[in-house]
């Protein structure tokens, strides 16, 4: 593999830190690594392969002689630098929602639609974390059996809102246990020992943005405008790793539970955890820090036994839901 010059924008954030660690673990062929962030973070030192790398302030000149730029600094930053990155001859792999639904921007999960990455025009988008984790469980079955409808319920961890949300959950939990007052600043509702509708923008149709992302992004990734998805996305007091309950309704007969297990077990990036005898199934604690998505609770839908099955999946939102998927996209370019 040829070595590439890589820039990470948002290097000091939760996903940015994971970018660095994933590149190390996957032995990404880096000729030069440039760490970029806001002015506030400039001057900080982060280690890559045992060496100190100094974080620089992101500027219009940051992308000269850079081959690949991994962005995780929010949609406004991605939009601001998009043309600058492309004019520099660099490819942006963007973790924000800024370009996901643009028709000329590929939306890629490397295990599912790697060929789409070849059709980029300077930008490739990382799908939303809940979409990636859902499709890692759905696609191995969808590939062989036509899916008519997906009913999705998500249980999303604090990591989806960054380090500040994770720290707020920790402090709020301690305050709650000590019967002390606590003022929420990141989340809109009390977070410790509570759950609430996902804190993304509510839309006129009664869904929030997170729920509509799963619908729109799934159709784009699968190139399937016929599949229907309805989602309920909930924020839960878990530090890291999202969990999702999935009901799949098929156009024709549903596959057997045994075949679903086999299809999932043979799919890269998936680990089947489905031990009925010991009541052991995917849990966010077990998924945290893992590259694989854990899938279990594989069973017939007793309300529609000939046509539907149920699944449960847990995946690390910072890894397969963000940093790992982006670095895997970068490897496609290499």
In order of start, what are the domains of the chain with their CATH numbers?
Answer: 4-126+322-333 (3.40.50.720), 131-317 (3.30.360.10)
Residue from 53, 90, 198, 242 carrying the catalytic annotation: 242
Residue 189 bears catalytic tag: no
User: Residues of the chain whose pLDDT is less than 50?
Assistant: none
Residue 129 bears catalytic tag: yes
Q: What percent of the chain is predicted at pLDDT more than 70?
A: 100
Which pLDDT value is given to residue 295? 98
Which pLDDT value is given to residue 43? 92
* CA-angle at 199, arms to 229 and 330, nearest 5°: 65
Which pLDDT value is given to residue 2? 83
3-state SS record for the chain: CCCEEEEEECCCCHHHHHHHHHHHHCCCCEEEEEEEECCCCCCCEEEECCEEEECEECCCCCCCCCCEEEECCCHHHHHHHHHHHHHCCCEEEECCCCCCCCCCCCECCCCCCHHHHHHCCCEEECCCHHHHHHHHHHHHHHCCCCEEEEEEEEEECHHHHCHHHHHHHHHHHHHHHCCCCCCCCCCCCCCCCCCEECCCCECCCCCEHHHHHHHHHHHHHHCCCCCEEEEEEEECCCCCCEEEEEEEEECCCCCCHHHHHHHHHCCCCEEECCECCCCECCCHHHHCCCCCEEEEEEEECCCCCCCEEEEEEEECCCHHHHHHHHHHHHHHHC
Which pLDDT value is given to residue 10? 96
Which pLDDT value is given to residue 194? 96
Q: CA-CA distance, 133 to 317, in Å (whole number)? A: 8
Residue from 53, 90, 120, 129 carrying the catalytic annotation: 129
Which pLDDT value is given to residue 47? 94
């Amino acid at each position: 593999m040829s070595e590439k010059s890589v820039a990470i924008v948002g290097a000091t954030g939760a996903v940015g830190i994971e970018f660095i660690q994933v590149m190390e673990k996957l032995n990404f062929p880096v000729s030069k690594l440039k760490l970029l962030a806001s002015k506030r973070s400039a001057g900080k030192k982060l280690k890559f392969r045992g060496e100190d790398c100094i974080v620089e302030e992101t500027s219009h000149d940051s992308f000269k002689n850079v081959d690949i730029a991994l962005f995780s600094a929010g949609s406004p930053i991605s939009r601001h630098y998009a043309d600058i990155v492309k004019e520099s001859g660099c490819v942006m792999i963007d973790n924000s929602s800024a370009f996901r639904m643009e028709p000329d921007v590929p939306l890629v999960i490397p295990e599912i639609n790697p060929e789409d990455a070849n059709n980029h025009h300077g930008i490739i988008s990382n799908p939303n974390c809940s979409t990636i984790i859902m499709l890692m469980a759905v696609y191995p079955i969808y590939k062989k059996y036509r899916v008519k409808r997906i009913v999705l319920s998500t249980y999303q961890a604090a990591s989806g809102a960054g380090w500040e949300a994770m720290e707020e959950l920790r402090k709020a939990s301690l305050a709650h246990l000590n019967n002390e007052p606590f003022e929420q600043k990141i989340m809109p509702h009390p977070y410790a020992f509570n759950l609430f509708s996902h804190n993304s923008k509510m839309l006129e149709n009664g869904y929030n943005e997170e729920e509509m992302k799963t619908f729109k992004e799934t159709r784009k990734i699968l190139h399937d405008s016929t599949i229907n998805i309805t989602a309920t996305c909930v924020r839960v007091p878990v530090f890291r790793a999202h969990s999702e309950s999935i009901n799949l309704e098929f156009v024709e007969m549903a596959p057997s539970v045994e075949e679903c297990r086999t299809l999932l077990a043979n799919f890269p990036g998936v680990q089947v955890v489905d031990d009925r005898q010991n009541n052991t199934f995917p849990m966010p604690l077990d998924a945290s820090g893992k590259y694989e998505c854990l899938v279990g609770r594989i069973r017939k839908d007793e309300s529609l036994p000939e046509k539907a099955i149920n699944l449960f999946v847990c995946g690390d939102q910072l890894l397969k839901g963000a940093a790992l998927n982006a670095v895997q996209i970068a490897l496609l370019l290499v």
